[in-house]
Amino acid sequence: MKKILVTGADGFIGSHLIEALVRQGYDLMAFVLYNSFNSWGWLDHCDSDVKGNFDVFAGDIRDPHGVKEAMKGCDAVLHLAALIAIPYSYHSPDTYVDTNVKGTLNVLQAARELGVSRVVHTSTSEVYGTARFVPITEEHPLQGQSPYSATKIAADQLAYSFYASFGLPVVIARPFNTYGPRQSARAVIPTIISQIAKGIRQIKLGSVSPTRDFNYVKDTVSGFVSALESDKGVGEVVNFGSNYEISVGDTVKLIAEVMESEIEIITDEQRLRPTNSEVERLWADNSKAKSLFGWTPGYGGYDGFKTGLVETIEWFLNPDNLSRYKADIYNI
């Protein structure tokens, strides 16, 4: 492939993906959100062997002209740009439609017009809602239990429609709950780790009964790379998950154990989702990813999850990294 465009390259998963692709020798265009600070997000803090080895386009995924300009000369697209915080989607659903739906449309339109050879579109396990059966296969019904998940369902359907209607070579990658270094404080694992790391022992959380299939960021990245490099999966949805289920409450206990801390969980009412919006259970069936792309998680099961947490905690305990997190407030 001549060149790869990665949208959302300045974010948590996107920055890790850029690092992995640079190390594999890819020619990259990193699409980052334009801002007056000229910040490239987490790409400003990427490893020294990666810096200077990719191109950057500062734009806005909501702008079709900028998206098409960034995509010129690219052979494939990894589309990760999105608004992802569920609590903020209750507050400002309009911007989720603009970013997640219209932004995806801009990527698809540009890819079609420019003849891009492969588009990997990022979905989310949230589109399944509370599991009706487990483990969750790609045939599970879709349930938009939050404005965020509703816009991701719409984006996924748009991506599929461009395959069905125009033959655009789209793969829909559906990662389950990714965690790891650089993750936003609005996610539960960074919320727990950052509070403990800053000496807080009464840990404020929302509901602790829901279960999740946590996927370490290195596994999510390898999933994207496998989808990019394969000639299979066009027009398909593919789960990327660890095939291991754990409750939020048990996750808190495991983190506290690794960090050797005695903690107390405090229910913070503002962190609770509306009753019908809470996704109570997620557990991935990842067999399709294995059969199509040969992908398996390197951090699967209890032991893999614990290893991933150890690596994540080590990163957070670096004072330079921890200083970027506001553990004493609720980050929506």
Structural domains of the chain, ranges and CATH numbers in brackets: 4-177+215-240 (3.40.50.720)
Average pLDDT over residues 119-129: 98
What share of the chain in percent tops pLDDT 90?
A: 97
Residue 194 has pLDDT above 90, yes or no: yes
pLDDT digit string, tens, across residues 20-49: 999 999 999 999 999 999 999 999 999 999
Please compute, for residue 264, the number of CA atoms within 13 A of its CA located in the half-sphere on the CB side. 2
Q: Express each pLDDT in 141-158 by its tens digit.
A: 999 999 999 999 999 999
Q: What is the mean pLDDT of residues 68-81?
A: 98
**CA 130, CA 145: separation in Å to the nearest integer?**
8
Q: With bands split at pLDDT 50, 70 and 90, how would you rate the model's confidence at 328?
A: confident
The predicted-structure confidence for 244-283, as pLDDT tens digits, reads as follows 999 999 999 999 999 999 999 999 999 999 999 999 999 9
Mean pLDDT over residues 84-99, rounded? 97
Where does the pLDDT of residue 332 fall: very low under 50, low under 70, confident under 90, or very high at 90 and above?
Answer: confident
State the average pLDDT for the chain. 97
Q: Copy the structure tokens of residue 243.
A: 């095939």
CA separation (Å) from 121 to 45, 77, 115?
25, 8, 16
Contact 34, 59 (CB under 8 A): yes
pLDDT at 135 over 70: yes
Indicate if the pLDDT at residue 221 is higher than 80: yes
pLDDT at 1 over 90: no
Distance (Å, whole) CA 228 – CA 223: 9
* Distance, CA of 189 to CA of 248 (rounded, Å): 9
Question: Cβ atoms within 10 A of the Cβ of 320, count?
Answer: 7
Q: Is the pLDDT assigned to residue 54 strictly greater than 70?
A: yes
Which of the four pLDDT bands, split at 50, 70 and 90, describes residue 235? very high
Report the candidate in 125, 179, 177 with the shortest Cα–Cα distance to residue 308.
Answer: 179
In this prediction, residues 66-80 reach a mean pLDDT of 98
Tokens of 176: 């389950």
Tokens in use for 291?
């059969």
What is the C-alpha separation between 156 and 67, in angstroms, rounded? 18
How far is 67 from 270, CA to CA, in rounded Å? 36
Report residue 224 as tokens.
């994207």
Nearest one of 2, 285, 322, 263 to 125, comparing CA atoms: 285
Cβ atoms 175, 120 nearer than 8 A: no
Mean pLDDT, residues 295-316: 98
Q: pTM for the whole thing?
A: 0.97
pLDDT band at 85 (very low <50, low <70, confident <90, very high): very high
Query: What does residue 147 show for φ and ψ, rounded to 5 degrees?
Result: -55, -35
Q: How confident is the model at residue 331 (pLDDT cuts 50, 70, 90)?
A: confident
Mean pLDDT across the stretch 179-200?
Answer: 95
Pure H helices in the chain: 12-23, 64-71, 86-91, 93-96, 103-114, 147-166, 188-197, 217-229, 248-258, 287-293, 301-316, 319-322
Q: Is the pLDDT of residue 196 over 70?
A: yes
Give phi and psi for 284, each to the nearest 5. -85, 135
